[in-house]
Structure 1
């Protein structure tokens, strides 16, 4: 999937980050993507609103994950913001908002093309089904290592 090359930059990886709740981590990741020119100033509010209406938490076997995203018109350049949390925060489950998941890995998608976003979501779902890969990701010690690993595994 060469169309996704180099969209995970180490300067958009937050490692061992603390967050009070889902809005806190969504704000931190949005601010990071904005600071590096990947998203427009409308992105943060759009992500927060979308997450409230269409949750993105995924209750996987060993690690909770969330994949927040919003519409392409809030994105300047395609990127993925990554957060590996010190302590998990609660997200509502995708497709089942009454259920909750404690997510410790957040992959915030900032895609400037809706069609590519669907392709990326499919690739991510394949990746998430491999529990050992998620556990390996959670144990990584540097932003550079995480960015390179995700690039090699997802794309």
Structure 2
């Protein structure tokens, strides 16, 4: 079972701040090791995770080496962050406020969850409802029920 956690209305200024903040959040909850932050940075540098959805989203992740438990963190940042679009060799910059951080130990489950998030990110209505969530409870319900 993959847990779902929420970071609502965060105020990260850069994706690097987000990586630091989400790692601290996951370490505090006992879900990850501190090395997860460096793994996120390295993977994002090599393989960008921005999705050209509308509104845009991003799914930063690394392999399960740093996971103590399986978790997806749904994040809604107050302002857009810069992520390069997946599969574009850093030629296309996106500005998502919605970020899904994936941390799963098993490779098969990791791939299944990644594909599920990518499919869900094609749902314009879902992303708009996430971005327009009026409070943390509404945002949490959407993540819990639909991911």
Same fold (TM over 0.5): yes
When structure 1 is superposed on structure 2, of 134-143 and 103-112 the one drifting more is: 134-143
Match of 1:102 in 2: 95
Match of 2:57 in 1: 65
The one of 122, 134, 141 equivalent to 1:129 is: 122
The one of 92, 106, 110 equivalent to 1:113 is: 106
CA RMSD of aligned residues (A): 1.3
C-alpha distance in 2 between matches for 1:31 and 1:25: 10
Question: Which runs of no fewer than 5 residues in structure 2 stay unpaired?
Answer: none
Aligned residue pairs total 146
Contact map agreement 1:29 1:82 (CA 8 A) in 2: no
How many Å apart are 1:73 and its aligned residue? Answer: 1.1
Contact map agreement 1:80 1:110 (CA 8 A) in 2: yes
The one of 126, 138, 146 equivalent to 1:145 is: 138
C-alpha distance in 2 between matches for 1:141 and 1:60: 21
TM-score between both structures, scaled by the size of structure 1: 0.88
Match of 1:8 in 2: 4
Match of 1:42 in 2: 35
Q: 1:115 to 1:8 in 2, by over 3 A?
A: same
C-alpha distance in 2 between matches for 1:103 and 1:27: 17
C-alpha distance in 2 between matches for 1:91 and 1:104: 10
Higher strand share: 1
Question: Which runs of no fewer than 5 residues in structure 1 stay unpaired?
Answer: none
Contact map agreement 2:23 2:34 (CA 8 A) in 1: no
How many Å apart are 1:100 and its aligned residue? Answer: 0.6
How many Å apart are 1:126 and its aligned residue? Answer: 1.8
Match of 2:73 in 1: 81
How many Å apart are 1:149 and its aligned residue? Answer: 1.6
C-alpha distance in 2 between matches for 1:50 and 1:144: 31
Contact map agreement 2:74 2:143 (CA 8 A) in 1: no
